[in-house]
């Protein structure tokens, strides 16, 4: 991440390039950090006081002490570690055991089914850190909206993330007017982004820049759809209880940037 203090808001489009210093908070915090992910860092409460973790997974108190902006920061920070090949070591079995009796994810993400884009991996997260929904083209439908409402209004997640990615096959299919069973209806949800994309070059699926431009527009439109179609999430965001953001993941650089 950028060298930001807790509670500092990231500029839109910024990429995080350095990681948090785990300082001298003791062996328990270092062990906690070693497992990686949102649930595996110290949460910060009023006045910037670090609360060292005491378990191998995010607790309800730690999750609730974080602001939505801090959750964004943690995810981007994890991605910076991933892109640099410096992921935290973690014990997945310990995380599984720590979350078996309950979970307190800090975020809910909708991303593409592309095998190269699991958000838990590219943001260096652990078990219990995020709720995840994956659909080709990271499109929004009623079931996804209901799942997000559960994650935030019932389970207490602080952040909704729509993550698109470069070279998206679903976006290419929408540009090419693909017709294939149920996929036809799915790519139709992406087509409005094609029309809305202001691009002067070749508007073809063979043009990687255009494909990525449409993918970015699709993310922006999906964020707008969430606010428009979910009164529950819109009101939570208006109250400051959650934040709804879009992001793009670059397959070539492994970096995540806010849209």
For residues 40 and 46, give the distance between their C-alpha atoms in angstroms, rounded to a whole number: 19
The pTM of the full predicted model, rounded to 2 decimals, is 0.79
Cβ burial of 256 (10 Å; 0-12, 13-18, 19+) is: buried
Q: Check residue 32 and give its pLDDT.
A: 34
Q: Check residue 58 and give its pLDDT.
A: 85
Q: Average pLDDT in the 224-242 region?
A: 98
Least confident of 20-24, 113-117, 182-186, 187-191: 20-24
DSSP 40: G
Q: For 162-202, how does the pLDDT look when each residue is reduced to its tens digit (9 = 90+)?
A: 999 999 999 999 999 999 999 999 999 999 999 999 999 99
Question: Is the sign of the CA dihedral 149, 8, 217, 124 positive or negative?
Answer: negative
Q: For 51-79, how does the pLDDT look when each residue is reduced to its tens digit (9 = 90+)?
A: 333 347 789 999 999 999 999 999 999 99
For residues 92 and 84, give the distance between their C-alpha atoms in angstroms, rounded to a whole number: 21
Q: For 85-110, how does the pLDDT look when each residue is reduced to its tens digit (9 = 90+)?
A: 999 988 889 999 999 999 999 999 99
Q: Check residue 14 and give its pLDDT.
A: 43
For residues 112 and 3, give the distance between their C-alpha atoms in angstroms, rounded to a whole number: 30
Query: How many whole angstroms from its chain centre is CA 214?
Result: 19
Structural domains of the chain ordered from first start: 27-258 (3.40.1050.10)
For residues 22 and 38, give the distance between their C-alpha atoms in angstroms, rounded to a whole number: 14
**What percent of the chain has pLDDT above 70?**
79
Q: What are phi and psi of 156, to 5 degrees?
A: 95, 15
Q: For 137-168, how does the pLDDT look when each residue is reduced to its tens digit (9 = 90+)?
A: 999 999 999 999 999 999 999 999 999 999 99
Q: Check residue 218 and give its pLDDT.
A: 98
Give the mean pLDDT of the chain.
Answer: 84
């Amino acid at each position: 991440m950028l060298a930001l203090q807790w509670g500092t808001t990231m500029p839109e489009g910024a990429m995080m390039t350095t990681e948090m210093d785990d300082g001298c908070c003791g062996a328990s915090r270092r062990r906690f950090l070693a497992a990686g992910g949102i649930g595996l860092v110290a949460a910060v409460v009023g006045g910037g006081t670090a609360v060292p973790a005491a378990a191998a997974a995010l607790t309800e108190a730690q999750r609730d002490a974080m602001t939505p902006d801090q959750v964004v920061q943690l995810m981007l920070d994890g991605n910076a570690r991933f892109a640099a090949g410096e992921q935290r070591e973690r014990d997945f079995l310990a995380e599984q055991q720590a979350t078996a009796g309950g979970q307190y994810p800090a975020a809910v993400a909708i991303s593409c089914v592309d095998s190269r884009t699991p958000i838990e991996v590219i943001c260096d997260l652990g078990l219990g850190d995020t709720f995840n929904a994956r659909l080709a083209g990271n499109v929004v439908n009623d079931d996804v909206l209901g799942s997000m409402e559960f994650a935030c209004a019932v389970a207490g997640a602080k952040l909704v993330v729509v993550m698109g990615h470069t070279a998206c096959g679903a976006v290419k299919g929408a540009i090419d007017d693909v017709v294939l069973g149920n996929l036809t209806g799915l790519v139709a949800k992406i087509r409005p982004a094609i029309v809305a994309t202001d691009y002067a070059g070749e508007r073809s699926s063979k043009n990687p820049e255009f494909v990525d431009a449409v993918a970015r527009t699709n993310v922006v439109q999906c964020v707008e759809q969430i606010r428009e179609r979910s009164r529950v999430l819109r009101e939570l965001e208006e109250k400051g209880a959650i934040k709804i953001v879009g992001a793009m993941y670059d397959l070539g650089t492994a970096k995540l940037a806010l849209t």
